[in-house]
Structure 1
């Protein structure tokens, strides 16, 4: 076999191996993909997707604690007039509060409400760990 044909065969095998690895990775991750939606995106699409797990995000506008002590109902909004009504059962993060940012994993129900299975509270870029705050450090000290 000529040297040129050896290189071509090796190149084709390498491309096949990379393609196989990509397809294998995509197949393995197919159930874990989570699409992100803001309230305005849901309104633009004409309704929420109820067939798969999604992530929704925005600002928490209102929180209602339920009598059982661990369930909450909350409203997620963005800069538009659109909102998402959501509910969650479990312990919420410390930074989860009205006016704060939130990303919630879960599913939309047939009635358009969102049932969250996990809540991730977002903090702003000026976050300071409690340990440093207790020592009397200021945000400007941490940057230096």
Structure 2
């Protein structure tokens, strides 16, 4: 997984996606073996715990993502043949599905510059002074210099 793949999921602006579906898609992109979002095989229980969604919600989200074309079952299902932690073979009945996050199908992805413009527009409504400090109380002058007073006497003899 790369931060770029996960960021594409976060910037995806599809009103058809529920928050749960976007959360599941984000987690699968995060757990993908390849940088382009391919080969993620966490179990439904793992996805459920990580996203805070119930198992049924995870199943509905995966179905929705497959239907919308953002997710598909990978052609190569051999990734899940061994336990990733122990290396032991996993019986066929206990294997999870290997998923591919299809970032090439993301059509309405907000650009980073559009997000920055939106953030600047929101920040313009807050009170700022010329220097750009936003954490001031209205009507109070900013404190100049250090707020910590130091004694002008000699240090204690026991101190260096």
Q: Shorter-chain TM-score: which interval?
A: under 0.3
With structure 1 as the length reference, what TM-score do the two structures score? 0.24
With structure 2 as the length reference, what TM-score do the two structures score? 0.22
Which is richer in helix?
2
Higher relative contact order (CA 8 A, sep 6+): 2
Which is richer in strand?
1
